[in-house]
Amino acid sequence: MQSKTKSALETLRERLTNGHYALGARLPSERSLCAALGISRSGLRKVLSRLEAEDLVWRHVGKGTFAGPRPALGSESFRIVTSKTNPLEIMEARLMLEPHIAAAAAQRASFQEIERLALCAKRNHEANDLETNEKWDVLFHETLVIATRNSLLIALYGGISKMRLSDEWCLRKQQWITPENWESFKKQHGSVVQAVRERDEAGAEKAMHEHLISVRQHIQSTYL
Amino acid sequence: MQSKTKSALETLRERLTNGHYALGARLPSERSLCAALGISRSGLRKVLSRLEAEDLVWRHVGKGTFAGPRPALGSESFRIVTSKTNPLEIMEARLMLEPHIAAAAAQRASFQEIERLALCAKRNHEANDLETNEKWDVLFHETLVIATRNSLLIALYGGISKMRLSDEWCLRKQQWITPENWESFKKQHGSVVQAVRERDEAGAEKAMHEHLISVRQHIQSTYL
DNA sequence: AACTACACCAAAATAACATTGGTGTCTAAT
DNA sequence: ATTAGACACCAATGTTATTTTGGTGTAGTT
């Protein structure tokens, strides 16, 4: 008879609206819930599908069923993003963040961090293979973000660094790196270090902006 | 005799500098390495400690020994950051990112996304409890970043959103939210939506900047 | 036609296991 | 007395196996 599933639907809808299941809370598994409600799993699943359509619950294999609307983002893992993104997206994000990071670093960097910055720049342009060069470059920019003393920024930038060590990025870099821009990057890094050393916030921001614009331009040229 | 450990040190230092062990590469485990070098584990560990002090290697229990300087970030997980950060750090990061995000969204948002933006703003100022208000506010800013079409930015912003739904943030918000700034936030959201609708990149960036400055100011007042 | 019972799948969480660097102790050699 | 080697143990981490979860289909029952 239909009354059973109907009453189960009412029961669950009640619990979801009156707070018996709090927003975002995990409901019992389907297998235990159907037993508790005295209906079959097939019947329960119809009820849950209905509730999901009403945005009262959301479900995910392996995780469970949860009260409330499906979270818009945050469900995606970083590994998934790796496959979706590309060097131009990375550069857009870096252009948003890093000039400000450089400014903050110029304000707060310790003497030790400034020396580390200079060391990374030195090792970077001394490197004779591309992979080593890129690793020291990543380390340079990481040191900069650490100098901001903002733990959230540091965590966020970790996501960008991971992307830059991915295979696709390195392959792309091989295409646009040349002895000429290798040399110009060296100068740009030097400008950033100098501005940070002189506590010149605006100068550091400008130097970093110019550096990233330069990098993006070389990347874009390989896309045409 | 001391000559054995001494020569082992030279051997390893050689391998680390000439690229036999690439930067960031993982060295064999201590147990296999000491056997390969023909010395005891205790002796090897002294050598490794020396090399670690010289920043030629770094070690971590359970992971192993790696060539190069210790990576500054990437080892920390996001959950750890949650406990370290605070509302002011969050606002600094948002001030770096979101004005640019608003500009990019103004350029690329679909009509559907613009409508969703307006809906979030409406629901936000219609809400009569703080939690619902915050939820719609988060959704407003998330919709904006999704409109940038930059999957890396979307992923990065997910980290910020998580922080804003944490307990500390909500407690803080209770302290600085008042009917007056509730009303002013409504106007600021409206300005952003309007600028995006008119494809006014500079206007969206400016409106978002002013909004976040306003929020930060109210937060700062509770810290004094 | 609607509900039940059952088997199977893939995604995800959880648990069990193995590996790694870190530390201390004891012995032997010099 | 000092040094180096051999060993046992620990906690952090990586790796693998197992279990749990929602998703799907089929056959039988009422």
pLDDT in tens, A94-152: 999 999 999 999 999 999 899 989 999 998 988 888 878 888 898 899 999 999 999 88
- The CATH number of residue B188's host domain is 1.20.120.530
- Does residue A73 fall inside a structural domain? no
- Does residue B20 fall inside a structural domain? yes
Q: Regarding predicted confidence, which is higher, A191 or A177? A: A191
pLDDT score of B191:
97
Whether the CB of B155 is below 8 Å from some CB of chain A: the reply is yes
Backbone φ and ψ for B130, nearest 5 degrees, come out as: -65, -40
Assess whether B28 and B109 both reside in one domain: no
Domain boundary among B18, B41, B67: B67
Q: Regarding predicted confidence, which is higher, A206 or B119? A: A206
Q: What is the CA radius of gyration of chain B?
A: 26
Mean pLDDT value across chain B: 88
Contact status, residue B56 vs residue B65, Cβ threshold 8 Å: no
Task: Measure the CA–CA gap between A115 and A185, rounded to whole angstroms.
Answer: 19
- Assign B5 to helix, strand or coil: helix
Assess whether A186 and A93 both reside in one domain: yes
- The CATH number of residue B30's host domain is 1.10.10.10
- Assign B22 to helix, strand or coil: coil
Angle among Cα B24, B30, B35 to the nearest 5 degrees reads 125
In the predicted model, what is the mean pLDDT of residues A198-209? 98
Rounded, the Å distance between the CA of B1 and C1' of C25 is: 21
Joined tokens for residue A187: 């100068």
Q: Which tens digit of pLDDT belongs to each residue from B132-186?
A: 788 789 889 989 998 999 988 988 888 888 788 776 777 788 888 888 888 899 9
Q: Where does residue A63 rank: exposed (0-12), middle (13-18), buried (19+ CB within 10 A)?
A: exposed
Query: CA of A32: how far to CAs of A64, A161, B209, in Å?
Result: 12, 44, 50
- Structural domain span for residue A145: 78-223
Task: Measure the CA–CA gap between A189 and B148, rounded to whole angstroms.
Answer: 29
pLDDT score of A141:
94
pLDDT score of A60:
95
Backbone φ and ψ for A26, nearest 5 degrees, come out as: -95, 130
Q: Which nucleotides of C are covered by protein (CB under 7 A)?
A: 2-7, 10-13, 19-25
Q: Where does residue B2 rank: exposed (0-12), middle (13-18), buried (19+ CB within 10 A)?
A: exposed
Kindly determine whether the C-beta of residue A4 is less than 7 Å away from any atom of nucleic acid strand C.
Answer: yes
Of B24, B78, B92, the CB nearest to A150: B92
Q: Which range (A133-142, B102-111, B124-133) has the least confidence?
A: B124-133
Residue nearest to nucleotide C9 (CA to C1'): A61
Q: Max Cα separation, chain A?
A: 80
pLDDT score of B83:
61
Contacts of B90 in chain A (CB under 8 A): 152
pLDDT score of A217:
93
DSSP letters, chain A, are --HHHHHHHHHHHHHHHTTSS-TTPBPPPHHHHHHHHTS-HHHHHHHHHHHHHTTSEEEETTTEEEESSPPSSSSS-HHHHHHH--HHHHHHHHHHHHHHHHHHHHHH--HHHHHHHHHHHHHHHH--SHHHHHHHHHHHHHHHHHTTT-HHHHHHHHHHHHHHTSHHHHHHHHHH--HHHHHHHHHHHHHHHHHHHTT-HHHHHHHHHHHHHHHHHHHHHHH-
- Residue A168 pLDDT exceeds 80: no
Residue nearest to nucleotide C18 (CA to C1'): B62
Query: CA of B130: how far to CAs of A70, A180, B143, B175, in Å?
Result: 20, 56, 20, 11
Task: Measure the CA–CA gap between A215 and A205, rounded to whole angstroms.
Answer: 15
Assess whether A104 and A185 both reside in one domain: yes
Kindly determine whether the C-beta of residue B4 is less than 7 Å away from any atom of nucleic acid strand C.
Answer: no
- Does residue B48 fall inside a structural domain? yes
- Residue B50 pLDDT exceeds 70: yes
In the predicted model, what is the mean pLDDT of residues A16-21? 87
Domain boundary among A67, A99, A121: A67
Structural domain count of chain B: 2
List helix spans (H) across B22-72.
Answer: 30-37, 41-53
Residue nearest to nucleotide C4 (CA to C1'): A40
- Residue A5 pLDDT exceeds 60: yes
Domain boundary among A67, A101, A120: A67
Contacts of B158 in chain A (CB under 8 A): 73-74, 76
pLDDT score of B21:
92
Q: Which tens digit of pLDDT belongs to each residue from B56-94?
A: 999 999 999 999 988 876 555 555 566 677 889 999 999
